Chain A
Amino acid sequence: DAGVTQSPTHLIKTRGQQVTLRCSPKSGHDTVSWYQQALGQGPQFIFQYYEEEERQRGNFPDRFSGHQFPNYSSELNVNALLLGDSALYLCASSYRGIRTYEQYFGPGTRLTVT
């Protein structure tokens, strides 16, 4: 049973460029959440997707957008990259049918913006 997978593992982009990160949820899960974790900080919630719609959103600008596909996988897109977008981006999946929202995290994508 595969857990949450993310690609790519590492990514280096230039300021102003656009980036797409990908996530496949754990088998049986239908909800995907994205987090940004800056160095030395806890993960910050970006948004959550369920039934192919953005359900909740954290305090992130519109440059951050996402998508969920019918197979529950998800993408995170960041436009007009800033140096401050350098971080570890974590994807987490859960099953919305249970109230406790226990999440399983992927290994993350390390994004460096130069």
Chain B
Amino acid sequence: DIQMTQSPSTLSASVGDRVSITCRASQSINDWLAWYQQTPGKAPRLLIYKASSLQSGVPSRFSGSGSGTEFTLTISSLQPDDFATYYCQQYKNYSPYSFGQGTKLEIK
């Protein structure tokens, strides 16, 4: 099975900051990587798919990059609504899907 590891587990930042979250896969997943945002009490929301494609309706301050085993989610200028928990997920074909453990983005 493919293991996904996110870092950091917690990130403190301020409105307007540029932040990045890293996700590493235990084996190559090409670009079969998605990023989700979850706020307390709500279902996750898809932000990025295929490692770098922005889901419809998601602000352009969110971007994704990477391929193979290392991926990054970047938020260019944090807004108040962005303080949430972020999960990466691999969905490589013919493999069981798996999520990272999550990164909580907190207000500094």
A binds B: no
Seen from chain B, the residues whose Cβ lies within 8 Å of a Cβ on chain A are none
